[in-house]
Structure 1
Amino acid sequence: MEAPVPEPVSVSTRPSAHSSGLAHFNAWHREQAEDALLECCGSTRWAQRVAAHRPYPDLDTLLAASDEAGYDLAPADLAEALAWESAPCLHHDAPRAAHLALRAAHAAYESRFGHVFVISLDGLRPSQHVDQVLAAIRTRLAHDPDEERALTAEEMRRLARGRIIELVTEAGRASGPFPPVAYDPR
């Protein structure tokens, strides 16, 4: 049996929010870009490095630079970034039992590893978040500290990527060369 032939994809010639947002991001003063990037990842060194390599020709290049800077984070840089983070939480309408279970899981994780639990939930429906977070904490509590540090760094890179995409999209919606003011991942 032959594999189905994919449908042709139409490409819009209109500038996307990403391309116009990237143009705004590239035009910001260094300090503005660094401040906005600190909202994506709380490491000063990471934010300075990503901001210093502007202008970026496209979003993929910016995301690759973010990843590269993330791979080069020293333990102190990762600790600084983690200090900016807050644990993933539930919508206030979630059942009380779910809030209590999540709070207990976070406390166990922080007690074991000495920092907040981070996880990228990009691509998951909000209804899946609590189950994903609880399962991940359960699994990750069994890791040794070095294994967990590596996984935490990877999750921070994934979080930064998602936040950069959001930052660039918001910058594309804003008028003027200033960073959006309403974005706060914590």
Structure 2
Amino acid sequence: MPATLSPQLPGQRGGEPGLERFNTAAADTAEATLLACCGSHRWAQRLVAHRPYPDVDALLAAADEASYDLSQADLSEALAVESSAGLHPGAPQAAHTALAAAHAAYESRFGHAFVISLDGYRPEEYLDQVLAGIRARLGHEPDEERAVSAEQLRGLARSRLAHVVANHPESDVAGASR
């Protein structure tokens, strides 16, 4: 689901906070923005329906609550549109090979892309964290991994949404490891 959001939501004017843009955007535009954060239509529609949010914390709390209420089908829908994160093209070929093999093993075992929230880590730590995460999670039973994936997806959605409403729409909010 890698996608960069358009630089402006309708009605954006210089200096207006991202939350105000989100709160006042057309429902379909707000939903598209949310789907770039988490691929569950039910999650996105729920957040759109409860606008306006008084502050970013209220929006993020609603996003968390909606994430906890995802059904198995909603979670499957969201995981289906995630993609495994790659490395910067300048990374050593051995790193690309190791990461591709790890992702392939994970996707073969669980049937969806590996998702991990890397908030709190520096970019130079991402590869080690992803490889360690895949290695550890490959030992999970499918139900256990589904719960872990749901929690990681929740963190990703929260981080992506916070970034969007913090006026950073130029970023790739849909990257699987951010």
Name the CA distance, whole Å, in 2 between partners of 1:96 and 1:40. Answer: 30
Cα displacement (A) at 1:76: 1.1
The corresponding residue for 2:32 is: 35
Compared CA separation, residues 123 and 182, structure 1 to 2 (3 A): closer
Counterpart of 2:103 (choices 88, 106, 112) is: 106
Q: Is the alpha carbon distance of 1:80 and 1:62 closer, same or farther for their aligned partners in structure 2, counting shifts above 3 Å?
A: same
Displacement after TM superposition at 1:84 (Å): 1.3
Matches within 5 A, 1:167-186: 167-170=164-167, 180=169, 183-186=172-175
Residue number in structure 2 paired with 1:24 = 21
* 4+ residue segments displaced more than 4 Å: 180-184
- In the superposition, relative to structure 1, how do residues 87 and 30 fare at CA in structure 2: closer, same or farther (>3 Å)? same
Alpha-carbon offset, residue 170 of structure 1: 2.2
Question: 1:37 Cα shift?
Answer: 0.3
Identity %: 61
Q: Offset at 1:183?
A: 4.5
Asked whether the equivalents of residues 99 and 131 of structure 2 are also in contact (C-alpha less than 8 Å), the reply is yes
Looking at structure 2, the residues matched to 115 and 98 of structure 1 have their Cα atoms a distance apart, in angstroms, of 21
**In the superposition, relative to structure 1, how do residues 181 and 125 fare at CA in structure 2: closer, same or farther (>3 Å)?**
closer
Change (3 A) 1:139 1:166: same
Give the residue type in structure 1 aligned to 2:110. F
RMSD: 1.6
Provide the residue aligned with 1:146 in structure 2. Answer: 143
Does residue 68 of structure 2 align to residue 79 of structure 1?
A: no
**Residues of 1 paired with 2:30 and 2:158: CA distance?**
15
Matched letter for residue 139 of structure 2 = A
Q: State the alpha-carbon separation in 1 of the partners of residues 105 and 83 from structure 2.
A: 15
Hey, what does 2:7 align to over in structure 1? none
Verify the 8 A CA contact 2:160 2:173 in the aligned structure 1: no
1:133 maps to which residue?
130
Q: Distance in 2 between matches of 1:182 and 1:137?
A: 25
- 1:50 equivalent to 2:47? Answer yes
After TM superposition, the score normalised by the length of structure 2 is: 0.86
How far apart, CA to CA, are the structure 1 residues paired with 2:45 and 2:25? 13
Q: Out of 88, 91, 115, which is 1:91 matched to? A: 88
The gaps in structure 1 that reach 5 residues or longer are: 1-16, 172-179
Q: Which blocks of at least 5 consecutive residues in structure 2 are unaligned? A: 1-14
**What is the CA deviation profile of residues 81-116 of structure 1, one whole-angstrom value per residue up to 9, with x for unaligned ones?**
111111021111111001100000001101111111
Highest Rg: 1 or 2? 1
How far off its partner does 1:154 sit? Answer: 0.4
